Chain A
């Protein structure tokens, strides 16, 4: 089966600019996750969707980060404005349901200069 697709793979922006990442989960997967992975650290959950509803966004910096999953399929994660500390790999993952294995995308590497 096709895996989780993310784009772009790489992005370099200046601080205070905005950026958006896109994720297409595996077909039929109801649960979608966005993780942030800063260099040298493990992935940290930013937001979790069940269909088009938010399950957990407790670690999402809501003053600058936003995410949506319209129609319960694709999802976008936006940062506005970006800070230097937002430099990281942003991973999207999906699973058939909350209690099943999550499959990860290749990630988007963001560099803020």
Chain B
């Protein structure tokens, strides 16, 4: 069975500071990892996926299979980055398409 762990429920930083949201996973196969974001009063939306290897809104995430991690990073946080962030894993096989989410991290960026 797959599992996603986000060790920090809350993370506070000041504007302009670097930010890293941690995500660890357990899965016996080859995973597909995602970061989803939910801004205040908005719906859950995809931020980025590891296979695209792109930077979205200044955020990047690298899949480290050795450490089974997929941490989300941004060098200079902005106030508009304040939101709830979820790490998610998509499994293969008969569960294809199903997303397993972590518990989420609330990021607050102070001015």
Q: A residues touching B (Cβ–Cβ < 8 Å)?
A: 3-4, 31, 33, 40-45, 48, 55-56, 91, 93, 95, 98-99, 101-107
Interface size class of B (residues with CB under 8 A): 20 to 34
B43 touches A104 (CB 8 A): yes
CB distance from A101 to the nearest CB of B (A): 5
Given contact pairs A41-B104, A102-B46, a sample of 12 additional A-B residue pairs in the complex whose CB atoms are under 8 Å apart: A4-B43, A42-B6, A42-B86, A42-B104, A43-B99, A55-B96, A56-B94, A56-B95, A99-B97, A101-B46, A102-B97, A104-B43
Q: Which residues of A contact B88 (CB under 8 A)?
A: 42
Bound Cα distance A4, B102 (Å): 23
Assess whether B53 is interfacial by the CB under 8 Å rule. no
Residues of B in contact with A (beta carbons under 8 Å apart)? 4, 6, 9, 43-46, 49, 86, 88, 94-104
B50 to chain A, nearest CB (A): 13
CA–CA, A31 and B96, complex, Å: 11
Q: Does the CB pair B45–A104 fall under 8 Å?
A: yes
Q: Chain A: which residue is nearest B86 at the CB level? A: A42
